[in-house]
């Protein structure tokens, strides 16, 4: 009888150890999924951003900062700020106004930061300030990132996941043409490694706006 009890106890200990190992493994797997999901969406969003923003000023005469601009709106909730980079181009028969907008949404009680490709479908024109237009149409969602853990900490300090800047620089699109002075747009956002180590340089993409002039 004693041998039977000891065998049962050893069996239970072995079973609990296996369950603990499985649970720990699942936590590691889930964490890895979160990491790869964050970075995969970031890489995809950056690729689309480069392709879209590069078109700023296309077909316009002397396109400048009136034709590509940044809009930023702070909010009381630290993670609820909204920002956008907006631009226009000649769409052929009429002006085309596009932009990238980051804002906050809540899905099933979880807050997300989303990056959307938007356009002003109703009142886009060649002359109005871009920030005065109605950006009423969402063309597509480029990514959504749950506001948890290190991202929540990052947003508490920075309010937005992405950062947009417009500067003047000597550049060449894809390095294929002689250097010239144009507006440049920079899109940056931290990878999971950078969220965990603020000392690392932030993942950034600089786009030479070849269709613009520096003014």
The pLDDT of residue 23: 47
The three-state (H, E, C) secondary structure of the chain, written as one string = CHHHHHHHHHHHHHHHHHHHHHHHHHHHHHHHHHHHHHHHHHHHHHHHHHHHHCCCCCCCCCECCCCEEEEEECCCCCCCCEEEEEEEEECCCCEEEEEEEEEEEEECCEEEEEEEEEECCCCCCCCCCHHHCCCCEEEEEEEEEECCHHHHHHHHHHCCCCEEEEEEEEECHHHCCCCEEEEEEEEECCCHHHHHCCCCCCCEEEEEECCECCC
Per-residue pLDDT of the chain (215 residues; tens, 9 = 90+): 556 555 655 566 655 555 555 444 444 334 443 567 899 999 999 999 999 999 999 999 999 999 999 998 765 554 567 899 999 999 888 999 999 999 999 989 999 999 999 999 889 999 999 999 999 899 999 999 999 989 999 999 888 999 999 999 999 887 777 889 999 999 999 999 999 998 888 889 999 999 998 76
The pLDDT of residue 74: 65
The pLDDT of residue 201: 83
């Amino acid at each position: 009888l004693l041998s039977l009890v000891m065998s049962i106890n050893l069996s239970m200990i072995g079973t609990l150890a296996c369950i603990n190992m499985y649970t720990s493994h699942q936590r590691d797997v889930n964490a890895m999924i979160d990491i790869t999901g964050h970075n995969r969406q970031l890489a995809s969003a950056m690729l689309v951003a480069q392709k879209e923003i590069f078109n700023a000023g296309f077909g316009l005469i002397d396109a400048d900062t009136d034709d590509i601009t940044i809009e930023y709106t702070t909010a009381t909730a630290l993670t609820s700020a909204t920002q956008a980079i907006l631009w226009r181009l000649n769409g052929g028969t009429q002006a085309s106004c596009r932009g990238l907008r980051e804002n906050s949404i809540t899905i099933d009680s979880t807050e997300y930061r989303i990056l959307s490709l938007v356009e002003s479908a109703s009142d886009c024109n060649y002359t109005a300030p871009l920030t005065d237009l109605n950006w009423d149409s969402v063309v597509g969602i480029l990514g959504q990132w749950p506001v948890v853990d290190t991202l929540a900490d990052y947003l508490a300090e920075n309010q937005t996941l992405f950062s947009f800047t417009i500067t003047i620089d000597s550049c060449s699109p894809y390095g294929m043409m002689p250097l010239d002075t144009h507006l440049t747009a920079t899109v940056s956002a931290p990878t999971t490694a950078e969220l965990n180590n603020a000392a690392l340089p932030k993942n950034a993409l600089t786009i030479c706006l070849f269709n613009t002039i520096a003014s």
